[in-house]
Structure 1
């Protein structure tokens, strides 16, 4: 193996598929299969294609050590060195009504942030609708992102990308971060991934069991408590070069961000209509 091979970094050991399956595939577990591959274009695309072909069971988890064509929201790219983070997607078939599925990326954010607080000792904030933020040298930086995509009328694929051990030199942009740079107590990806998937199982089961009701499942309360966007003045870029600026005052029952504008109007924003969401300090 050459020294410049993506697999030659001994400081980044591989995930252990056997340990993950033993920990996650329990009787009555949400997770039905755990797949671990060395490399793929995108775990998200893999599962969407399989779901469309009817070959993805409910509860399937697909994990990659390296993604060569990772995707974010609006087809934005996501890249990171091999074994430097957690890159996985899950396929779910909720029983909750489809109109409640807008909460799934927010639910995944809550689950991931709460798991990282316990397993890594890192406070992770949520930027509506799908970013995971950590503090590095007094600055908020994006360490992860979430992508949820409905597949037909019956299922959804949720993808998570999380920077774990990236160094400053490896960051794709200066505004990115990682758990290591945020002072994580540990960067062993096996326990981190188990913690995130167990937390996701817990929150999903609670939400789906409540018929997708964000109030009854306490998801809406938990999201608001961890959302760094609330209370800030933000500028929302909309399609057609339109913009809305206002204070983010709430996340409503449909998962929309509510802005209080200077004109005194409360304007709810749906995830689907947002191109970019920025604070004044982000330019």
Structure 2
């Protein structure tokens, strides 16, 4: 082996000097997830990128096959809903996108970000041993212990679905090992701060992708029917928004306030307003107004690709 110049050795040492945040093992992940007959057809891990969604969407436009996964150890221009920008220290979270081409009616594709939320929350509960909840439409919430540096209900993840080529790119961002000092906004949290029994990103990523494959396969087998696939029922059961007074900040700058009473057949949030009308909301930013705990946040930002 040719010895490296001192400057290269220093660079590599600095890159992996944070032993509490080791790099992902791309080869092991491919062996576990990319198999004949499986949904996942390719898995790439890159050291850094602007946005995994943007990169994978470009590949989709050039003919990428369904089931491609792109993971970044660091994102410099991660995007969330409403064009929010988010960043985190290298290897402190999971930042990845998947490409799907559903063979169901396009009218039912709106369920995909909710499906990804159910799959992610389920996997995190089982693998990390923490209670998770969903904030409509695409946020992953946890409740950290009262003695934690980030106590109360906090957002640890977000999901962004975008049309790309003939399919959809779904990006998922999760705060895994962020400390209180590293949180991007006061309402954010991390799995570590919520008391997760593991912050090893390899098994967490495998669990989320396997859960996503199961839910997506069942949803497609039911021709995208959210009732037959139990997606609507499961999402509602885990949705922290239902039963609360909320303000929906709608496109165009208007607001709608009411009690969140249901998730309808199109995945929309149904609000019961003060004048007795039940109004479905298909897009917008939801602010929880009635706290379940004193720490309940009034708003949020998004760790999303």
- In the alignment, the residues of structure 2 paired with residue 68 and residue 27 of structure 1 have an alpha-carbon distance, to the nearest angstrom, of 34
Mapped pair 1:19 → 2:28: yes
Q: How does 1:190-201 map to 2 (within 5 A)?
A: 190-201=202-213
* Correspondence for 2:159: 146
By percentage of residues, which structure has more strand? 1
Q: How does 1:149-160 map to 2 (within 5 A)?
A: 149-152=162-165, 154-160=166-172
Mapped pair 1:187 → 2:199: yes
Counterparts in 2 of 1:5 and 1:69: CA distance versus 1, 3 Å:
farther
- In the alignment, the residues of structure 2 paired with residue 5 and residue 182 of structure 1 have an alpha-carbon distance, to the nearest angstrom, of 28
TM-fit CA distance, 1:7: 4.2
Q: With structure 1 as the length reference, what TM-score do the two structures score?
A: 0.95
Q: How does 1:201-280 map to 2 (within 5 A)?
A: 201-271=213-283, 274=284, 276-280=285-289
RMSD: 1.5
**Structure 2 unmatched runs, 5+:** 1-9, 292-297, 300-305
* Correspondence for 1:122: 130
- In the alignment, the residues of structure 1 paired with residue 85 and residue 117 of structure 2 have an alpha-carbon distance, to the nearest angstrom, of 19
TM-fit CA distance, 1:195: 0.3
Greater length-normalized contact order (CA 8 Å, ≥ 6 residues apart): 2
SS at match of 1:106: helix
SS at match of 2:280: strand
SS at match of 1:146: strand
The Cα offsets for residues 147-193 of structure 1, whole Å up to 9 and x where unpaired, read as 001125x2000000000000000001111000000000010000000
* Correspondence for 1:73: 81
Counterparts in 2 of 1:131 and 1:4: CA distance versus 1, 3 Å:
farther
**Structure 1 unmatched runs, 5+:** none
* Correspondence for 2:4: none
The Cα offsets for residues 200-226 of structure 1, whole Å up to 9 and x where unpaired, read as 000000001111100000000100010
The Cα offsets for residues 46-88 of structure 1, whole Å up to 9 and x where unpaired, read as 011121222x210000001001111111221121110001000
Q: Which ranges of 4 or more aligned residues in structure 1 deviate by more than 6 Å?
A: none
The structure that has the greater radius of gyration is 2
* Correspondence for 1:86: 94
Mapped pair 1:48 → 2:57: yes
TM-fit CA distance, 1:241: 2.5
SS at match of 1:41: coil
